[in-house]
Structure 1
Amino acid sequence: MWRNITSNFLTAMIVILVAVAGVVAWAKREYVSEGPLSQAICLRVDQGDSFVKVSDDLKAKGAISSGYIFRTGADYTEKDGKLKFGSYLIEPGSTMEDIVDQITRGGPSSCGSELIYRIGVNTQTLALRELDPATGIYEELAKYDPVADPEPDGFKELVDEKNITNHRVILAEGATSWHIVQALKSYDFLSGDVKEVPAEGSLAPQSYVVTKGEDRNALIAQMQTAQSEILNTAWANRAEGLPYKTPEEALTMASIVEKETGVTAERPEVASVFINRIEKGMRLQTDPTVIYGVTNGKGSLGRGLRQSELRANSPYNTYVIAGLPPTPIANPGKAAIEAALNPDSTDYLYFVADGTGGHAFASTLAEHNANVAKWRAIEAQRAKEAGGN
């Protein structure tokens, strides 16, 4: 009898163990298999949230099949205590394993609403936008110039309602360091006092995700590091025979190219003009350097250059001095830096606006004068049409 009891008990235990092993194997497959989500969603994780709350949110949004398996998998992989707050874009079909990795790895928020602080060449813009997770496209909800315009009605309430995920600062190519610092000082979500304006040209025009309360000096240091990396990489891959002794001289040339054209495809051509002029011993004769000498990079000139300014003995007056000015005249972007260090091979010595937003290039003064005459005719026609209106 005892033999039968023992045999039955062992049989039952084997059945139970096999069943448990089957459940464990099924749970593992569920954890790493494609999830049930058919359309991308935003998952917001606030500071202090637990894996229980997050798993409940994911289950309610149809992103996971089991909150228990989700939490158990996080615990088994020792990630249950590493939850990072933020707003995450959960892609269709994401596995539980993928989601756990995403919300414990952290990094910049990839979903939700953003306040965009755009620092232009002479202006600023504050915009609120929100990502549509289904399309992956941001929808602009509101925008205004915080310096020139009053805050739109309901803007603050809309910002509060959207529970902002990111603050993003975007620098436009060609803004001066003084203008950038003035803008950063006006942003009350930042902290810290900037005592000195960074060296001209040292700030990389690009997009920066900023934490609320971040120190302005830390953000400026990030911008400087980014620009140094761009310049050093471009310098290491520069063309041979360029008339620069240092990367800083190349940065100065890049800033001139940046101010002369906003057409990306033209930048290598514009750079070739100035390099050709230097190699022939000709003066650069570029208005943006003269303007910088007049304004010291502080604001817009707001008028045309005077003849006295074009004749003035200034280190930035390239109608008077030979070669490059002593410093950059703005913060050039990556494309302008690369153009200055890998210019097109041309024999161009002149260029003038062509009426399309770009420029007409010429190798001889006669060709240039003809291009100038065409541009003057376009200007005259536009003035006539404006007067007629």
Structure 2
Amino acid sequence: MLKRLFLLLVTTGLATVIAIGWFAIRPLELKSTPLEFTIPPGTGLAASSRLMAEAGAGFMPWQFSLLGRLLGKAADIKAGSYEVEQGVTPWQLLAKLTRGDVSQVEVVLLEGKTFRQWRAVLDAHPDLRHDTKGLSEAEILSRLGAREAHPEGLFFPDTYLASKQSSDLDVLRRAFRAMQQRLEDEWARRPAGTPYRTPYEALIMASIVEKETGQAADRPRVAGVFVNRLRAGMLLQTDPTVIYGLGEVFDGDLRKRDLQTDTPYNTYTRPGLPPTPIAMPGLASLRAALSPAGGDHFYFVARGDGSSEFSRTLDEHNRAVVRYQKRKRGAG
């Protein structure tokens, strides 16, 4: 009797192993292709199997769960969002899950944009989880562990890869840490004599440089002009800070009365740097702010082709302004 029971168990076990082996190598009949599903953090093999079956993976949950246990992979399932195509086998699917081969999306956060503009990009992204929706700027900064009271300039512009349904807060956290590291690195390499008391002041200057020119060659020279003005006690008189201070009421046309209306960001009426950055500066602007060009230039004007004309004296500058304004009117 015992012998028969033993043989039955062996035969049943062998049949099960053969069945699971056959299951492992046969292509799955997916409900749709590509099939997308998400494994939340902390989800075990059995629960993951149920989630995939409910998504339309084409197997019974116990089959995939048993395959994972037989192969010793029960504890190796990694959380994330996944995509699989028609023809994938359970064996390949298990390997994908244990490698953490998640599907990724791009999140493009451009330099020169404001935090408000970045939030609009994140809110509109169809593949992110919008955990910051409804949060104030102060609440977001608190969740990121930031000491600053204002978010502008604190995040590094880049293209970030994220798994589908990642939190937008996680993307911001990565951008925040990236900017902290970049700023720390550039601050450590700054030459002697830069007129900033803190890295944050350098970040403010970098944001101004970012908004003043898109020409890589001109960034150190633009920074040099503003550094010279700071050292001489001159007003910075930079339009982008005034525009930032106007906020959403700015209609694209900067008027004389705007330059004369005092706000914390009006560098025509207030000396020194504005209280916060005015945009998200890229690495080139950070480097320019902390390694400005030498020389005795105090003025610059846009030539109309993206580059700038630099002048040492106000008379030189006024002549340059007249020259390029005439050219602009003639071109129009």
Q: Same fold (TM over 0.5)?
A: yes
Instruction: Indicate which of 311, 318, 323 corresponds to 2:260.
Output: 311
Amino acid at match of 2:255: R
In structure 1, distance between residues paired with 2:258 and 2:101: 47
Deviation of the 1:107 alpha carbon? 7.6
Q: TM-score, normalised by structure 2?
A: 0.65
Structure 1 unaligned segments of length 5 or more: list them.
Answer: 1-43, 49-74, 88-101, 110-164, 384-389
| Native 8 Å contact 1:86 1:106 kept in 2 | no
Amino acid at match of 1:347: D
Amino acid at match of 1:350: Y
Q: TM-score, normalised by structure 1?
A: 0.56
What are the within-5 Å matches in structure 2 for residues 153-172 of structure 1?
165-172=103-110
In structure 2, distance between residues paired with 1:103 and 1:188: 24
Residue 221 of structure 1 corresponds to 173
Amino acid at match of 1:313: D
In structure 1, distance between residues paired with 2:170 and 2:126: 15
Structure 2 unaligned segments of length 5 or more: list them.
Answer: 1-33, 39-70, 84-94, 142-150
Amino acid at match of 1:359: S
| Native 8 Å contact 1:108 1:209 kept in 2 | no
| Native 8 Å contact 1:177 1:331 kept in 2 | yes
Q: CA distance change for structure 1 residues 181 and 46 in 2, over 3 Å: closer, same or farther?
A: closer
After superposition, the C-alpha distances for 1:268-323 in whole angstroms (9 at most, x for unaligned) are 1100000000101110000000000001xx5x833322222111121110001011
Residue 207 of structure 1 corresponds to 159
Moved over 4 A (4+): 44-48, 81-87, 102-109
Q: How many pairs does the alignment contain?
A: 240
Residue 302 of structure 1 corresponds to 251
Q: Is the counterpart of residue 196 in structure 1 residue 136 in structure 2?
A: yes
Q: Is the counterpart of residue 321 in structure 1 residue 321 in structure 2?
A: no
After superposition, the C-alpha distances for 1:34-89 in whole angstroms (9 at most, x for unaligned) are xxxxxxxxxx99989xxxxxxxxxxxxxxxxxxxxxxxxxx9xx99x9798979xx
| Native 8 Å contact 1:83 1:103 kept in 2 | no
Deviation of the 1:371 alpha carbon? 1.2
In structure 2, distance between residues paired with 1:45 and 1:293: 48
Amino acid at match of 2:112: G
In structure 2, distance between residues paired with 1:348 and 1:264: 18
Residue 63 of structure 2 corresponds to none
Instruction: Indicate which of 362, 381, 385 corresponds to 2:311.
Output: 362
3-state SS of 1:268 partner: helix
3-state SS of 2:128 partner: coil
Residue 278 of structure 1 corresponds to 230
| Native 8 Å contact 2:77 2:100 kept in 1 | no
Deviates more, 1:341-350 or 1:252-261: 341-350
What are the within-5 Å matches in structure 2 for residues 1-389 of structure 1?
165-191=103-129, 192-194=131-133, 195-197=135-137, 199-295=151-247, 298=248, 301-383=250-332
Higher helix share: 2
State the percentage of identical aligned residues.
40
In structure 2, distance between residues paired with 1:266 and 1:108: 43
Deviation of the 1:188 alpha carbon? 3.2
3-state SS of 1:330 partner: coil
RMSD: 2.9
